[in-house]
Amino acid sequence: MTRAAPHVTHEVLNQVPPLAGYDVADDPALIDALRREGVGDPAELHELGERAGSAATQDLARLANEHPPVLRTHDSRGNRIDEVEFHPAWHELMAVAVGHGMHAAPWLSADPGEHVARAARFYVWTQAEAGHGCPISMTYASVPALRHAPELASRFGALLGSRSYDPGLRVPDGKAGLLAGMAMTEKQGGSDVRANTTRAVPVGDGYQLTGHKWFCSAPMCDLFLVLAQAPEGLTCFLLPRVLPDGTRNAMRIQRLKDKLGNRSNASSEVEYDAAFAWPVGEPGRGVATIIEMVSATRLDCVIGSAAATRLACVTAAHYAGIRRSFGTTLATHPLMASVLADLALESEAATTVAMRLAGAADRASRGDATEAALLRLALPAAKYWVCKRTPMVTGEALECLGGNGYVEESGMPRLYRDAPLNSVWEGSGNVTALDVLRALARSPGSADTLLAEIDLAAGADRRLDAAAGRLRCALKEAAAADSEGGMGRWAGQSGARRLAGLIALTLQGSLLVRHAPAAVADAFCASRLGTEPAGGPGVPFGTLPDGLDLDPVLGRAAVSVRG
Ligand SMILES: Cc1cc2nc3c(=O)[nH]c(=O)nc-3n(C[C@H](O)[C@H](O)[C@H](O)COP(=O)(O)OP(=O)(O)OC[C@H]3O[C@@H](n4cnc5c(N)ncnc54)[C@H](O)[C@@H]3O)c2cc1C
């Protein structure tokens, strides 16, 4: 019997192949920044970039998010085990991140540039999948806080920096590599950690902690930096999941959060039932101790959001370069070119400021006081601004793919869901903006350091000069308001977001004027450094002024895909 030929209803036309098989590190703003920071041969970074942009890795990312972690509170006989089970794809992603030293490895070396090289790897690899960046980032950030307890730092420091990924709950000293988390937030408040109610009672060479934490991400980490109320006041502790005698510490996982995004990562609610922990830093000085971890994690929030911005922008540019409407590709329609170029500017500015701050962190870690002062003011400002812009960027980039961008297979919904997170944690928007005011009050030299950095581009662009002048007045007014209780646009807490935004934008402008191609710097200053944004306050992307040279701007967002 002859078979009927399959009935052909239609031919698939004008659909864009997924962006896969490309080098994520093919990113001129990133590579230029590495060159400026004196980080050598980027060959390893390009290898990692190829891996991050491969279809195989994209599949791992999909699997890790479609099969989120599962909590196992008890074993089959009713014993508490408090374990979280992950899909193998999660472990593969983690093994790459640890193997490339994206966690605490840079702290093992005193070589200049180690933290910048690590920041670049984190930026590239987090574009593959953002969720697993959480334990990687917390492990990186744990070391400066842990150094307040030199004995614990020498006992665990090398294992936190080990390039062996060794999952599973075992005695930390015997493992090939360790991961660290942090637990500060409680039910009654996360921003105001001084309201923590978890109690710490001295016992033997440590303390017993009793209480709860409302958010404790990556609860399968080996060690946690925890805040609790000791008799001396709020204190930082190091809590091991498994005690030195091999028994499990009394950290009970109550449930996992059902989150908007970040679904591959487990975020839990935990209770401590006389759990054992060692003190870190001076008792009663818990905030001052853990703040070093917070600062390093904030840097990763900026890097992670810059990475998400880059991925959104590159994906939109790739799609619009192939998809056709009304007889030509989307990217050649003038209004779409304006949207894409606007996204590219946002991306270039975010990447450039993130890498500048990574350089400052690198030098500050080796005792450079000027760079530490710059970081103290510029980091909260950039954390506020770059992280706040990311949800808008991903929303706009998603729309460049039309309806396809709204569909899970495009990858854009995951990017969009993940986008607000960096702004929420490690100091939500308001809290981070208020930290800018705190930095001005407590580190008065930081304003002069910031202005000196911005002035390195003085005279090169009149719009930047004008913005720097406005910033100078604003910083003076904010400082005077703090010491004399003055009034004005920049005085007081209600102006904190405005000030943080002005700092971030002016610093970005200065960096781009000095380091980016002229067309990029020109378009950035024209669209972002006026007294008001080009189309009025709060306008969406795609409102660039006329007359700009957009081709070189768009060229920065183009990547080549292997055939
Ligand atoms: C996915 C996820 C994972 C997390 N993982 C961890 C973790 O591992 N460990 C951990 O300790 N925490 C973790 N957190 C918690 C996170 O750090 C807190 O949610 C955050 O610090 C805010 O605290 P909160 O939720 O209690 O909000 P609140 O403190 O109640 O604040 C609510 C809002 O009010 C604003 N606000 C607060 N104070 C002021 C003020 N003085 N002026 C103006 N506005 C103010 C804040 O900016 C925020 O927008 C996680 C959160 C999420 C979403």
pLDDT in tens, 314-338: 999 999 999 999 999 999 999 999 9
Under the banding of pLDDT at 50, 70 and 90, the label for residue 40 is confident
State if residue 193 touches ligand 1 by the CB under 6 angstroms criterion. no
- 501 Cα: distance to centroid of ligand 1 (angstroms): 20
User: What does the pLDDT average to over 393-411?
Assistant: 98
β-bridge pairing 223-230 and 180-183: parallel
Atom of ligand 1 minimally distant from the CA of 429: 47
Among 196-210, 303-317, 455-469, 480-494, the range scoring the smallest mean pLDDT is 480-494
Q: Using CA atoms, how far apart are residues 226 and 244, in angstroms rounded to an integer?
A: 18
Residue 419 near residue 391 (C-beta atoms within 8 A): yes
Residue 33 near residue 356 (C-beta atoms within 8 A): yes
Atom of ligand 1 minimally distant from the CA of 424: 20
Place of tokens 């183009």: 558
- 51 Cα: distance to centroid of ligand 1 (angstroms): 34
State if residue 262 touches ligand 1 by the CB under 6 angstroms criterion. yes
Under the banding of pLDDT at 50, 70 and 90, the label for residue 7 is confident
User: What does the pLDDT average to over 132-142?
Assistant: 98
User: What percent of the chain has a predicted confidence (pLDDT) above 70?
Assistant: 96
State if residue 349 touches ligand 1 by the CB under 6 angstroms criterion. no
pLDDT in tens, 170-195: 999 999 999 999 999 999 999 999 99
> How much is the pLDDT for 491?
66
pLDDT in tens, 403-423: 999 999 999 999 999 999 999
Under the banding of pLDDT at 50, 70 and 90, the label for residue 1 is low
- 497 Cα: distance to centroid of ligand 1 (angstroms): 17
Among 287-291, 355-359, 528-532, the range scoring the smallest mean pLDDT is 528-532
Residue 486: pLDDT over 70: no
> How much is the pLDDT for 407?
98
Under the banding of pLDDT at 50, 70 and 90, the label for residue 151 is very high
User: What does the pLDDT average to over 453-476?
Assistant: 97
User: What percent of the chain has a predicted confidence (pLDDT) above 90?
Assistant: 91
Atom of ligand 1 minimally distant from the CA of 182: 9
Under the banding of pLDDT at 50, 70 and 90, the label for residue 21 is very high
Q: Using CA atoms, how far apart are residues 221 and 293, in angstroms rounded to an integer?
A: 16
- 431 Cα: distance to centroid of ligand 1 (angstroms): 9
Sign of the dihedral through C-alpha 350, 300, 429, 284: negative
State if residue 265 touches ligand 1 by the CB under 6 angstroms criterion. no
Atom of ligand 1 minimally distant from the CA of 183: 11
pLDDT in tens, 91-134: 999 999 999 999 999 999 999 999 999 999 999 999 999 999 99
Atom of ligand 1 minimally distant from the CA of 218: 8
User: What does the pLDDT average to over 533-552?
Assistant: 83
State if residue 506 touches ligand 1 by the CB under 6 angstroms criterion. no
Residue 489: pLDDT over 90: no
Pocket test of ligand 1: the residue of 223, 265, 425 to mutate, having most ligand atoms within 8 Å of its CB, is 425
Mean pLDDT of the chain: 95
Torsion of CA 143, 146, 147, 148, to 10 degrees: 150
Give the global pTM: 0.97
Which phi and psi (to 5°) does residue 467 adopt?
-65, -40
User: What does the pLDDT average to over 419-445?
Assistant: 95
State if residue 196 touches ligand 1 by the CB under 6 angstroms criterion. no
> How much is the pLDDT for 349?
98
> How much is the pLDDT for 490?
67
Place of tokens 């990475």: 307
Three-class secondary structure assignment of 111-170: CCCHHHHHHHHHHHHCCCCCCCHHHHHHHHHHHHHHCCCHHHHHHHHHHHCCCCCCCCCC
Bridge partners for 213 per DSSP: 270
Residue 347: pLDDT over 80: yes
Atom of ligand 1 minimally distant from the CA of 432: 47
> How much is the pLDDT for 480?
81
The CB density around residue 485, as the number of other CB atoms within 10 Å, is 9
State if residue 215 touches ligand 1 by the CB under 6 angstroms criterion. yes
- 428 Cα: distance to centroid of ligand 1 (angstroms): 6
CA-nearest of 149, 432, 150, 155 to 286 is: 149
User: What does the pLDDT average to over 496-507?
Assistant: 96
> How much is the pLDDT for 6?
78
State if residue 492 touches ligand 1 by the CB under 6 angstroms criterion. no
> How much is the pLDDT for 492?
83
Q: Is 202 helix (H, G, I), strand (E, B) or coil?
A: strand
Q: Is 524 helix (H, G, I), strand (E, B) or coil?
A: helix
